[in-house]
Amino acid sequence: MLLMKRSVSAHIAVRIDSPVTMVFAASVAEGITREVETLDFRYGGSSITPVEISDLHGTRLHQFTVGAGTLTMDYWATVRGEAVPAEITAIDRITYLKPSRYCESDILLPTAVSEFAGLKGRALLDGVSSWVGDKLSYVPGSSLPTDGAVRTLLARQGVCRDYAHLVVALLRALDVPARLVAVYAPGLDPMDFHAVAEAFIDGAWHIVDATALAPRQSLVRISTGRDAADTAFLTNHDGLLTLTELEVTATVDELPTDDVTQLVQLR
């Protein structure tokens, strides 16, 4: 087992305009060995203890309700080794073959069939990843939070979540279960939360990252879902807020070399 040591952190600050319920997803997922972990929420200078809720894939959600004011979240963790590889369930197969809000696989079916006819398994993952990487330009700030895979393909540009959405949509169109994963990504530049696709072939989930911006071997899972609607680092209900600060760090004791010809599991 590769005992890779990774250190991650996130700082988030928001200005709250009216009473709001917030749900944060910035902690590393369940099943990952954490040597050190600290999660600190501050509202008006006082500490807040959130309710922790776990979803079906081990995403650790932290929820609370506060009034108008300012709030900060600071998270630090050091993880070592590898998590147990995720398995697939019957409901996973159903869920991750369906179109979703940002992954319109039904609309992209003709494109997928035309571009990747005859490809299966690993060859299909390689083909889709390369095709998306070639078709899109990585342009920070070029997409809207509401953009889905179809609009991304038309615009020919986007950021990591847009690349992942297009990969997921094309794979689902070809009957490959696929989903989006938010991760900490050592080696990413500029540093931020990162999004990759995860596809189920040959009996296991494998990472597909058409951006190729960080080595897949050192990624750390945060959240998993159908698309960005399920994996946002912050969701708010019943009130308004403005994100004022966001800082993310992710380092590894030795940055691995990513051989893009190899299948890699997120562990």
Residues 68 and 137 in one domain: no
The tally of domains found in the chain comes to 2
Q: Please check whether residue 180 is in contact with residue 228, taking contact to mean a CB–CB distance below 8 angstroms.
A: yes
Answer yes or no: is 42 within a domain: yes
Residue 1 pLDDT: 42
Residue 2 pLDDT: 53
Judging by DSSP bridges, how do beta strands 5-16 and 20-24 pair with one another?
unpaired
Print pLDDT tens along the chain (267 aa).
Answer: 457 899 999 999 999 999 999 999 999 999 999 999 999 999 988 999 999 999 989 999 999 999 999 999 999 999 998 888 888 999 999 999 999 999 999 999 999 999 999 999 999 999 999 999 999 999 999 999 999 999 999 999 999 999 999 999 999 999 999 999 999 999 999 999 999 999 999 999 999 999 999 999 999 999 999 999 999 999 999 999 999 999 999 999 999 999 988 999 998
CB neighbours of 111 closer than 8 A, spacing ≥ 6? 153, 170, 173
Calculate the alpha carbon distances from 109 to 32, 148, 169, 196, 225 in Å: 36, 15, 9, 21, 21
Q: Please check whether residue 85 is in contact with residue 265, taking contact to mean a CB–CB distance below 8 angstroms.
A: yes
Domain enclosing residue 242, as ranges: 5-82+234-251
Residue 176 pLDDT: 98
Answer yes or no: is 259 within a domain: no
Answer yes or no: is 239 within a domain: yes
Residues 222 and 240 in one domain: no
Answer yes or no: is 17 within a domain: yes
Residue 40 pLDDT: 98
Residues 40 and 126 in one domain: no
Residue 84 pLDDT: 81
Answer yes or no: is 256 within a domain: no
- Whether the model clears a pTM of 0.85, i.e. scores above it, the answer is yes
Answer yes or no: is 267 within a domain: no
CATH of the domain at 203: 3.10.620.30
pLDDT tens digit sequence for 90-118: 999 999 999 999 999 999 999 999 999 99
Residues 142 and 190 in one domain: yes
Residues 247 and 194 in one domain: no
Residues 107 and 226 in one domain: yes
Whole-number Å distance between alpha carbons of 28 and 144: 26
The string of DSSP codes covering the chain is ----EEEEEEEEEEEESS-EEEEE--SPPTTS-EEEEEEEEEETTEEE-PEEEE-TT--EEEEEEE-SEEEEEEEEEEEES-PPPPP--HHHHHHTTS-BTTB-TTTTHHHHHHHHTT--HHHHHHHHHHHHHHH-EE-TT-S-TT--HHHHHHHTEE-HHHHHHHHHHHHHHTT--EEEEEEE-TT-SS-S-EEEEEEEETTEEEEE-TT--S-GGG-EEEEEESSHHHH-SEEEESS-EEEEEEEEEEEESSPPP--TTS-----
Answer yes or no: is 161 within a domain: yes
CATH of the domain at 58: 2.60.40.2250
Answer yes or no: is 150 within a domain: yes
Residues 119 and 149 in one domain: yes
Residues 117 and 31 in one domain: no
Residues 215 and 242 in one domain: no
Residues 46 and 159 in one domain: no
Residues 94 and 224 in one domain: yes
Residues 172 and 100 in one domain: yes
